[in-house]
Structure 1
Amino acid sequence: MFLQLLRATADDLCAVDTAAPRTGAAGGTSTTWLAADVTALDPGGEAARRIAVADLVLLAVPEPVALEAAEPLTALMRPGAVLVDTLSVKSRLIAELASCAGGIEQVSINPMFAPSLGIAGRTVAAVVLREGPGAIAFLDLIEQWGGQLLQLGPDEHDRITAVTQALTHAAVLGFGFALCEAPFDIGQLTAAAPPPHTVLLSLLARMVGGAPEVYWDIQSANPHATQARDDLAKALRQLADLVADGHERHLASAFNRMRDFLGPELAHYQTRCERAFAAIQDPTTRCDAPARNDS
């Protein structure tokens, strides 16, 4: 996604991957593809040379690779260059970068959407670690591309994504775990499904059609994700206890509490849900495209 976006402004683009090299061109700017391992770069190799002169190095890899790559990359980068990572969790990488060579600017971003959806109108969380003109210019580019920039502190980022991502994904995956134990097949469930069930099936299908390592990083690397899952398990036990007590008024009280939490956004989300139900239940819009990875 970022190669596509940067083609409009960059003079020279180079992509480094363990895959075989390939060359492509779009938007008037060629992209050079190099086969190399960013965790074990050859100091005399072409990838290392490119990194040493780059204005921007964008690290878009799973967390274990990023943690290994942090030291060799920052040792190669020139003073004033910008290192950007796209990890869903910030705490471990930030700790690793703290011990790396200084002199470079650092921005840690988290696009809160699948790359296939496009950046326009979507939130990009950003944690500025070492500010400078290059880091500011990159954040300006995000806004020029139509991204909705949300600047957060490192711990603030991980705490809020523990709720918006780890908790949300855990709820959908837990639903999927339970479905696998149900004595019905997907055809039976699809035929009987009311709109909320259809929406959850759709969320589950999108997630399991994506890359497991993305969801693993969100659940395993975020230091606050364990608490989010514990809170979800506790909430399910509360619901079970509430029903076991046999008093409907307790559920009504819980509804009031949740309505109070949603506050002025209640009507907004009710309308969005109605529109989602209308779209997902429309029999004329059956989509057969493959699911894409989403965060």
Structure 2
Amino acid sequence: MTDSVEGIRWKIEEIDNAILDLINKRMNIALDMGHQKVDKAMPVRDMRVEEQVRNRYLARAREVGISDEAAIELSSLLVRESVEAQARLPRPMRPRKVLVVGGGGAMGQWMCRFFASRGHEVKVFDDLPGGAFKNVKLEAGVKEADVIAVSSHISATAEMLRRIFKLRPKGLVFDIASVKSPIVDVLKEGADQGLLVCSIHPMFGPSASFIFARNLIVCNCGSDIAVNKFMPLLNGTGANVIEMPVEDHDKMISVVLGMSHALNLAFFGALKESGFTHEELRKVSSTTFERQMNISASVARESPNLYYEIQHLNPHNREMLEKLIDALREVQQAGSDEDRSHMIRLMQEGRKYFEVKH
């Protein structure tokens, strides 16, 4: 019996190795395609083709008795690996001189690495060490820069932008602040003065190795030329770029960041008061609880100063948190009612909200 089991395991190992060899072969072909995309200046991603791959996997999986979930997960994994490999291929573009203001911080260092990896000459202005990148005085850096990226604390960004604008930069200027309300007036003043100003919000942190399939918001502050100059900096990355007026940013972010951060802070705050350690709770956790606890644990390790500023400086957060509190109260009431119709209605409304609208 043991020999039989070991023999089967050996066969499975052989198949696993063959699968990995095929994946390697697929990756090499994808890289060949990537070089052709570079030569022809084609974008890395083609959503129509990605959808075709997904549907092909689903159809074949159903023929051989593999679940839809496994087929979707496998196709997504392979597409992501292929596109990330293609996105790493250098694309010929005019090297630019880039100044990263705040280049010693975590996100500033990410910006430095990103631009350097794309062949640009990167310098930093920061009181903190710039790592491998030369630290320069602000006036000298602004004077020679083609691109100026401001990666300061949200509360310090407006003043830094004013300092830069006084130097009359010839290059593109953008910030990466998570909240725009404190800097909207400054940004629009810069654009009104004829400066090339836009505002960016990467919806990911400094741990991101690549920006394939990650969201990046580009806010128009009144200079269409600035937005048009920023876009080519992302060529070939496979990022999901969402453009919007800078005035619209914070209301949406009050939901995406303000509410989600608050929910996770409240969640681990309630866990702390539950009387159980997280180790005890993990031993009996459900799938949903495990996921939620992992997200909250990740949030607990983030920068308290950044989370404070995201909550404190976005004027739309108070309204959004009131909606969250009201929703929690309604859940509490629905669970207390003797009649289950209230809970059923809540669940039905949730399903309707998440329905895919064609």
- Of stretches 145-154 and 226-235 in structure 1, the one that deviates more from structure 2 is 145-154
Q: Give the Cα separation in 1 of the matches to 2:150 and 2:289.
A: 37
CA distance in 1, matches of 2:119, 2:230: 11
Secondary structure, counterpart of 1:155 in structure 2: helix
Q: C-alpha displacement at 1:10, in angstroms?
A: 5.0
Residues 112-143 of structure 1 show CA distances to partners (whole Å, capped at 9, x for unaligned) of 11221231110001102142545413222224
Letter in 1 for 2:338: G
Q: Is the contact between residue 63 and residue 217 of structure 1 (CA under 8 Å) also seen in structure 2?
A: yes
- Tell me by how many angstroms 1:96 deviates: 2.7
Distance in 1 (alpha carbons) for counterparts of 2:353 and 2:261 = 21
TM-score (norm 2): 0.65
Change (3 A) 1:76 1:167: same
Q: In 2 relative to 1, CA 78–114 (structure 1 residues): closer, same or farther, beyond 3 Å? A: closer
Aligned to 1:278: none
Is it true that 1:88 corresponds to 2:178 in the alignment?
yes
Cα 1:20–1:260, aligned 2, differ >3 Å: closer, same or farther?
closer
**CA 1:16 to 1:140, structure 2 compared with 1: closer, same or farther past 3 Å?**
same
Q: How far apart in 2 are the matches of 1:106 and 1:3?
A: 19
> Among the aligned pairs, what percent are the same residue?
21
Q: Name the aligned partner's letter for residue 162 of structure 2.
A: E
Per-residue deviation at 1:187? 1.5
Q: What is aligned with 2:138?
A: 47
Considering fraction of residues, name the structure with more helix: 2
The question of whether the paired residues in 2 share the 8 Å contact of 1:123 and 1:149 is answered with yes
Other-structure match for 1:33: 135
Instruction: Name the CA distance, whole Å, in 2 between partners of 1:207 and 1:125.
Output: 21
Corresponding position of 1:239: 331
Deviation at 1:86, TM superposition (A): 0.5
Aligned-pair distance for 1:230? 0.7
Aligned-partner Cα distance in 2 for 1:8–1:19: 22
Q: 1:43-80 CA distances to partner (integer Å, 9 max, x unpaired)?
A: xxx3311112211110011111112212111111324x
SS of corresponding position for 1:115: coil
**What residue number does 2:258 align with?**
166
User: 1:137-183, CA deviations, whole angstroms, 9 ceiling, x for partnerless residues?
Assistant: 32222243221100112232111111111111111111111111111
Instruction: Tell me, in whole angstroms, the C-alpha distance in 2 between the residues paired with 1:111 and 1:32.
Output: 24
Paired with 1:141 and 1:250, the residues of 2 have a C-alpha distance of: 51
Contact 1:59 1:85 in 2 (8 A): yes
1:170-181 to structure 2, matched below 5 A, reads: 170-181=262-273
Q: 1:239 to 1:197 in 2, by over 3 A?
A: same
What are the residue-to-residue correspondences of 1:89-128 with 2, within 5 Å?
Answer: 89-100=179-190, 102-117=193-208, 118-128=210-220
Q: Out of 292, 297, 304, which is 1:212 matched to?
A: 304
Structure with larger Rg: 2
CA offsets 1:71-102 (integer angstroms, 9 cap, x no match):
111111324x2111001111221123344582
Give me the CA root mean square deviation.
Answer: 1.9
CA contact (8 A) 1:54 1:77 kept: no
User: What is the CA distance between 1:188 and its match in structure 2?
Assistant: 0.8
TM-score when normalising by structure 1? 0.78
Which amino acid in the other structure matches residue 33 of structure 1?
A: N
* Matching residue of 2:96: none
> Is the partner of 1:109 in helix, strand or coil?
strand
Number of residue pairs matched by the alignment:
246
4 and 241 in structure 1: CA distance in 2 versus 1, 3 angstrom threshold: same
2:184–2:247 Cα contact (<8 Å) kept: no
Does 1:147 find its partner at 2:239?
yes
* SS of residue in 2 equivalent to 1:198: helix
Q: Distance in 1 between matches of 2:243 and 2:189?
A: 23
Equivalence map 1:174-213=2 (5 Å): 174-213=266-305
- In structure 2, the residue matched to 1:293 is none
